[in-house]
Structure 1
Amino acid sequence: MEKNKIRYLGLGGIVGPVLFSASVVITAGVRTDYSHITHFISELGATGTPTEEWMNFVGFVPSGILIVLFAIALLTFSKKKPMAVIGSVFMMLFGAGMAIAGLFSCDQGCIPNGSLESLIHDRVSAVTFISAIAGILLSGFSFNKLSFFRKFWGFSLFTGLVSIVLLAIMINSFESRNLTGLWQRLLLLFLFLWTSRIGIHIFKNTEQIS
C-alpha cells in the first residue's frame, strides 16, 4: 500500500473518536432526561428515541468504519509478526463492533433480556470492548519489536491494563447503575486516546520510512 494512503488511513484513529464524541455530546444535549453519569452511551441510539438515527448513523457506524481503516494502517506495520497482526485484527473487530452496534439498537433504557435486536447489540458491545483492550495489549507487546512504534509499547500496556480495570468496574455497576455512564466514558477515553496517539504517529511519520 502506498505510504500516502497509509498516512490518511491512520487518521481514522483520530477522526473516528472525535466524530463519535461529538455525536454523544450533541445528542445528549437535546435529551433533557439523559445523564452522562448514569446512562449508557447506547441509550442515545436506543430504538424509538429522538436521537436514534443521529447517534447510530452519524456516531456509531461511521466512527466504527474509521477505526477499521485505522486498524488497516496499523496492520501494514506488522511485518508479519503474529502478535502485531492479531493485535491489528482485534482493533478491526473493535471498529466493526462499533458499526454493528449502531445497526442493531438496544431497547429504550438498554435493559437486559430485551428484543432480539437489543440482545445482538449487547453481545456485540461486549465483544467490542474486549477486542479493543486485547488489540491494545497485543499491539503493545509487539511494539517493543517494531522500531516504528517502539516508544509506545509502555503507553500501550498501561492503557490496556487501565482499560481492564475500568471495564471490570463498569460491569460491576450494571445492576445498581451507579456511575455506569461515567465508567463507560472513562473506558472509551483511554481507548480513544490510544487510537488517536497512534494515528497521529502514523500520519506524521509514515513518509519518513525508507
Structure 2
Amino acid sequence: MSNKTVSLIGVLATIIFISSALIGGLLIDDYSVTSQYISETYAVDTEYGVWLRILGYIPSGILFTIFCFVAIKYFPSSKLIKTGFLGVGVFYGIGTIVTSIFACDSGCNPEFINPSISQVIHNLSALLIYAIVPISIIIAGIGLTKFSNYKALSFSSIILGTLSAGLVFLLFSNLQSDFLGLYQRVIELLILTWVLICAFRIKKTGNNDLN
C-alpha cells in the first residue's frame, strides 16, 4: 500500500467521522452538542441511527483501524511507536466499530438504570477508548523523540495526548456536567487532529525518511 493511499485512508476516516457527528446532531430536534453525547445521535430509538452507524461510524472505525495498523511501517522502527499506533488502532478504530454496533439505550441512559447488554458493551468500549487512546498517542510521541526528523510530530503527539487525557479526566470527574458533549467533542477533535497530522506526514515523507 503506497504512502498516499495510507494517508488518504486516515483523512477519509476523519472526514466520515466528523460528517457523521455533524449530520447526526442536525437530524435530532433540540439536540445539544454542548451537553449531549455523540452516541445519542445513533441510540437505538433514533430515526436515522442505524444509517449513521452503517454509513458513518462503522466505516470510519474500519478505516481508522487500517490506517493505524499500516501506518506503523512509515515511521521508524520502535516498540513505543508501534505500541502507540496499535493502541489507537485497536481502541479507537475497533472501539468505534464496537460502540457503533452496540448502540446505547434511548438517551444513552445516563443514570444507567436497567441497562441493556448493548448499553453495557457500549459504555465499556467507550471507557476503554477514552482511557487508553490518549495514553497511546503520548507513547507514540515519546517513541518519536529519539528520531531527529520527527521532533515536531513527537511534540504534537505528546501535547495532543496530554490535552485529551486531561479532558477525559474532566469528563469522567463530573458526569452530571452540562458540558459533557463539549468535552467529548474536544477529546475527539484532539484525537482526529493527531490522525490527520500523521496522515499528512506519511503523505509527505513516504517510507524514505525513517531515521
Tell me, what secondary structure is at the counterpart of 1:109?
Answer: helix
1:89-133: per-residue Cα shift (whole Å, max 9, x none)?
A: 101111110011111100011112510111000000111122321
Alpha-carbon distance, 1:31 to partner: 0.7
Q: Which ranges of structure 1 fall in alignment gaps of 5 or more residues?
A: none
Partner Cα distance (1:73, 1:142) in 2: 17
Whichever residue aligns with residue 137 of structure 2, its letter is: I
TM-score calculated relative to the size of structure 2:
0.90
Partner Cα distance (2:195, 2:119) in 1: 27
Is the alpha carbon distance of 1:207 and 1:86 closer, same or farther for their aligned partners in structure 2, counting shifts above 3 Å? closer
Task: Tell whether the 8 Å contact from 1:27 to 1:54 is kept in structure 2 after alignment.
Answer: no
Partner Cα distance (2:133, 2:54) in 1: 21
Alpha-carbon distance, 1:208 to partner: 4.8
Choose which of 83, 96, 99 in structure 2 pairs with 1:98. Answer: 96
Look up the match of 1:206. Answer: 206
Tell me, what secondary structure is at the counterpart of 1:149?
Answer: helix
Whichever residue aligns with residue 24 of structure 2, its letter is: T
Q: Which ranges of structure 2 fall in alignment gaps of 5 or more residues?
A: none
TM-score calculated relative to the size of structure 1:
0.90
Choose which of 7, 10, 15 in structure 2 pairs with 1:10. Answer: 7
Over the matched positions of the two proteins, sequence identity in percent amounts to 23
Look up the match of 1:107. Answer: 105
Choose which of 20, 25, 29 in structure 2 pairs with 1:23. Answer: 20
RMSD of equivalent CA atoms = 1.8
Task: Tell whether the 8 Å contact from 1:95 to 1:128 is kept in structure 2 after alignment.
Answer: no
Look up the match of 1:43. Answer: 40
Whichever residue aligns with residue 157 of structure 1, its letter is: I
Q: How many residue pairs align between the two structures?
A: 206
Tell me, what secondary structure is at the counterpart of 2:14?
Answer: helix
1:31-86: per-residue Cα shift (whole Å, max 9, x none)?
A: 11311011000011100211211221122211111111210232213554211121
Partner Cα distance (2:104, 2:149) in 1: 40
Runs of 4+ in 1 over 6 A off after TM superposition: none
Tell me, what secondary structure is at the counterpart of 1:76?
Answer: helix
Alpha-carbon distance, 1:18 to partner: 1.3
1:149-190: per-residue Cα shift (whole Å, max 9, x none)?
A: 33211111111110111111111231x241100010011111
Whichever residue aligns with residue 63 of structure 2, its letter is: L
Task: Tell whether the 8 Å contact from 1:10 to 1:73 is kept in structure 2 after alignment.
Answer: no
Whichever residue aligns with residue 18 of structure 1, its letter is: I
Look up the match of 2:79. Answer: 82
Is the alpha carbon distance of 1:79 and 1:154 closer, same or farther for their aligned partners in structure 2, counting shifts above 3 Å? closer
Task: Tell whether the 8 Å contact from 1:23 to 1:54 is kept in structure 2 after alignment.
Answer: no
Task: Tell whether the 8 Å contact from 1:91 to 1:135 is kept in structure 2 after alignment.
Answer: yes
Look up the match of 2:129. Answer: 128
Deviates more, 1:24-33 or 1:152-161: 24-33
